[in-house]
Amino acid sequence: MTTDESTNQSTTGSAAAAAAAGAAPAGAAAYGTVLVANRGEIAVRIMRTLRALGVRSVAVFTAADAEARHVREADTAVQVGSYLSAADQVRAAREAGAGAVHPGYGFLAENAAFARACADAGLVFIGPPADAIELMGDKIRAKETVRAAGVPVVPGSSGSGLTDDQLAAAAREIGMPVLLKPSAGGGGKGMRLVRDEALLAEEIAAARREAVGSFGDGTLLVERWIDRPRHIEIQVLADAHGHVVHLGERECSLQRRHQKVVEEAPSVLLDPATRAAMGEAAVQAARSCGYTGAGTVEFIVPGADPSAYYFMEMNTRLQVEHPVTELVTGLDLVEWQLRVAAGEPLGFGQQEVELRGHAVEARICAETARLGEGRVDLLPSAGRVLTLREPAGRPGVRVDSGLAQGTEVGTAYDPMLAKVIAYGLDRPTALRRLRAALAETEVLGLDTNVGFLRRLLAHPAVAAGELDTGLIEREAATLVPAEVPAEVYAAAALLRQAALAPRPGPDGWTDPFSVPSGWRLGGEPAWTAHPLRVPGHEPVTVRVRLGEVRIGEGPVRAARVEEDGPRVRLHLDDRVLGFSRAGEWLGRDGDSWWVRAFDPVAEALRGAALGGAGGALTAPMPGTVTVVKAAKGDEVVAGQGLLVVEAMKMEHLITAPHDGTVTEIDVAVGTAVAMDQVLAVVTPLDEAGGAAGEAS
């Protein structure tokens, strides 16, 4: 395969790519108009292929998404009440005169009832048959089906509708650790790794709750946990004429909380024989359910023995990480979904599929990375995009994005905002290009994981291809800085100091006594103190005087800033550092910080209002309270779960910081909370007892 480095369009001489590069599919063109039943970056990406084929696109949007990028890029847009309402999508398609519906991924993409509703309305569903969606959407039935087809599966529970006690018994029989999984869904939602048998009951309850919230079905299964596993998936493509091929594998082992973070193709783990064997197993899995269209068969693979692979599940839709396959095969998978749905045959066989070069994808998400106790916490964030710079146009780099400057990112939907994908003739080139592209990526106005991704991609184990699903947890301390860099505080304080300077009058004169120079009679200039705080970190006071800063109790350092619109150059000692700026936000090399003024008096009054206790529990992210397990006056023990806050389908358990009494709890189920909002106060028993005694 050769790659045009300026446009990153892949071409190849294979019959597969020749078919893809031919005339627009006659059947797909006959749709006239396709409704994209989705939002964000995948909706924009699907519309790109529709536009290239000369097919009109229809966007759907909720009231919250009226100004979203996918709405602006569509030929027509129709408002719906919910992305999860099949009736709304069908109505919108009819109103817009669409002949087909593309579900993207997430929402209704793997909903068999939606596929049937489209068919009943005379709409072509651009995806597999409803029966295949239904079968593979039930993980228990899916395992039984592919096992009968000769595909190896992970040892685990059998049968559906197991009670909590039956699941716990199956887990004990398998042996700890085990993985709890919702039968009805994917994407890592509701999955729980349980290592301690004593926690089974609590984890089963939590997994059921997340499964119901995400998929409307609390059915669970339990599987053996394979230590240090690799997550490898095979892309399949099948037509309605009996032809099924695989397009190689994707390595998806870099995960956090069972959510993929970085994906690549091909995998450095597989040799040609293992690739062929896994590919054939994936083809058989697709045949076993009568699959058509693009789909993905996921396998868990012991890193020490790649030949011992096990089927996990089949995703009956386009995958988030499909671009890496597109770049190494030269095929547009969305176009092939359209062709297959229009009744066209594939026109090429397995022997004509070639993998050339290497591609790596990083998912950019609205997340705050914090270092927990030996772990990385990636918590959903929210805010308005104040500054946006994406690395489109770099050689070998592709950006799939749903972002636009001014976009309001909330917590109602998945946190993924965009994807940056890099291609190279070899893996080191692809990784190098991706790191450089991420360094140029700027999203100010909310926290993102861009800086975290750069550090992950630079990790020696990642560079060497020594991956497994636990790597991020093991290397947490190297991926999330414990402290905010000193230069960030210096730049923020100097910018605040500069903003205090008065503007010259109409005649150009400035009152010298109004200039915040720190001048005083008969001595050195005085320091101006700027108490600052980055959310999630302790406050720091930065002192500034002419040409100097002192950060906290650190040494005095030579410093000054130069402003050029949204660009800032910080001269700190013998270094010059560039930042981007938007309001109180600063960004550099993919990282961003919201540096806010800190008012110690207001904070002291707030603490006093809460009784002065160090047991104030705050929301770690903006979201909604979904569970309240305690009430005012309850005695609790350290580590006891008190509340659950959910955002973007992610649950976060709020626990008691110490033994004590719940003296305040100001939220209920359904309460929307902001980041750092106080949810409850747990007063230590001796303090609570003393306070009670004084009151009496």
Rounded to 5 degrees, φ, ψ at 367 are -145, 150
- Check residue 351 and report its DSSP letter: G
Burial of 633 (0-12, 13-18, 19+ CB in 10 A): exposed
Evaluate whether 137 touches 316 at the Cβ level (below 8 Å): yes
Contact 263, 324 (CB under 8 A): yes
CA distance 87 to 117: 8
**Residue 230: which H helix or E strand, with range?**
strand 229-238
pLDDT at 6: 38
Rounded alpha-carbon distances, angstroms, from residue 519 to 500, 523, 552: 15, 8, 22
pLDDT at position 506 over 50: yes
Q: How much is the pLDDT for 498?
A: 92
DSSP 616: E
Which of 39-53, 182-196, 659-673 has the weakest average pLDDT? 182-196
Q: Are 548 and 538 in contact (CB under 8 A)?
A: no
Per-residue pLDDT at 7 exceeds 60: no
Residues 293-311: tens digit of each pLDDT: 999 999 999 888 888 999 9
Residues 6+ apart with CB under 8 A from 557: 490, 548, 549, 550, 551, 572, 573
- For residue 324, the SS3 value is helix
CA distance 143 to 573: 62
The amino acid at 450: V
Strand 358-365 relative to strand 259-265, pairing? antiparallel
Structural domains of the chain in order of their starting residue, each with its CATH number: 31-126 (3.40.50.20), 155-225 (3.30.1490.20), 358-480 (3.30.470.20), 486-501+520-597 (3.30.700.30), 610-695 (2.40.50.100)
**Alpha carbon separation from 264 to 43, 341, 414 (Å, rounded):** 22, 27, 21
pLDDT greater than 90 at residue 639: no
Environment class of 369 (CB within 10 Å of its CB; exposed 0-12, middle 13-18, buried 19+): buried
Give the Å distances, CA to CA, from 571 to 126, 490, 558.
56, 10, 8
Residues contacting residue 438 through CB under 8 Å, at least 6 positions apart? 362, 391, 420, 450, 453, 454, 457, 590
Query: Of all helices (H) and strands (E), which one includes residue 90?
Result: helix 86-96
d(CA 550, CA 372) in angstroms, rounded, equals: 29
Q: Confidence band (pLDDT; 50, 70, 90) for 84?
A: very high
pLDDT, residue 503, reads 67
Helices marked H in 158-256: 164-174, 200-215
Query: In this structure, what token pair is assigned to residue 241?
Result: 């004429």
DSSP code of residue 445: S
Percent of the chain, pLDDT > 90? 65
Question: Residue type at 83?
Answer: Y
Q: How many CB atoms lie within 10 A of CB 634?
A: 17
| Residue 496 pLDDT class (50, 70, 90 cuts) | very high
Contact between 405 and 365 (Cβ < 8 Å): no
**Residue 380 above 50 pLDDT?**
yes
With the C-alpha atoms ordered 567, 571, 572, 577, is the resulting torsion angle positive or negative?
Answer: positive
Average pLDDT over residues 599-625: 71
Helix (H) or strand (E) holding 363: strand 358-365
Write out pLDDT tens, residues 259-289.
899 999 999 999 999 999 999 999 999 999 9
**pLDDT confidence band for 565 (50 / 70 / 90):** very high
Three-state SS at 141: helix
Alpha-carbon span 421 to 561, nearest angstrom:
34
- Per-residue pLDDT for 204 more than 70? yes
Q: What is the mean pLDDT of residues 474-484?
A: 88
Residue 315 pLDDT > 90: yes
Average pLDDT, the chain: 88
- The span from the CA of 158 to the CA of 584, in Å, is 54
What is the mean pLDDT of the segment spanning 340-352?
95
pLDDT on residue 12: 36
| pLDDT computed for residue 29 by the predictor | 58
Torsion of CA 167, 168, 171, 176, to 10 degrees: 150
Crossing angle (nearest 10°) for helices 112-120 and 130-137: 170
Higher-scoring residue by pLDDT: 373, 452: 452
Please return the burial class of 513, using the count of CB atoms within 10 Å of its CB with bins 0-12, 13-18 and 19+: exposed
Half-sphere exposure of 597 (CA within 13 A, CB side): 10
| 105/241 Cα distance (integer angstroms) | 25
**Inter-CA distances, 376 with 322, 419, 479, Å:** 26, 21, 8
Lowest mean pLDDT among 22-26, 125-129, 346-350, 400-404: 22-26
* One-letter-per-residue 3-state SS of 393-417: CCCCEEEEECCCCCCEECCCCCCEE
Closest CA to 453 of 505, 350, 378, 544: 378
Range with the largest mean pLDDT of 189-203, 495-509, 592-606: 189-203
- What is the spatial distance between Cα 134 and Cα 534, in angstroms, rounded to a whole number? 47
Higher pLDDT, 679 or 26: 679
Which tens digit of pLDDT belongs to each residue from 31-40?
789 999 999 9
Higher pLDDT, residue 241 or 506:
241
Q: Name the phi and psi angles at 112, rounded to 5.
A: -65, -35
Residue range 409-451, pLDDT digits in tens = 988 888 999 999 999 999 999 999 999 999 999 999 999 999 9
Min mean pLDDT across 119-133, 253-267, 580-594, 634-648 is at 634-648
Number of other residues whose CB lies within 10 A of the CB of residue 224: 17
Of residues 268 and 9, more confidently modeled = 268
- Strand-pairing partners, residue 369, are 378
In this predicted structure, what is the pLDDT of residue 13? 38
Given a contact cutoff of 8 angstroms between Cβ atoms, the answer to whether 409 and 383 are in contact is yes
158-162, 516-520, 646-650: which has the highest mean pLDDT? Answer: 158-162
Are the beta carbons of 312 and 300 closer than 8 angstroms? yes
Eight-state DSSP code of residue 536 = T
* pLDDT given at position 521: 62
- Distance in angstroms (rounded) separating the CA atoms of residues 199 and 654: 16
pLDDT band at 587 (very low <50, low <70, confident <90, very high): very high
Query: Per-residue pLDDT for 216 more than 70?
Result: yes
Beta bridge partners of 650: 647
Distances (CA, A) of 35 to 40, 43, 70, 110: 14, 10, 12, 16
**Percent of the chain clearing pLDDT 70 (strictly above):** 88
Q: 406 vs 68, 363, 402, CA distance in Å?
A: 9, 20, 12
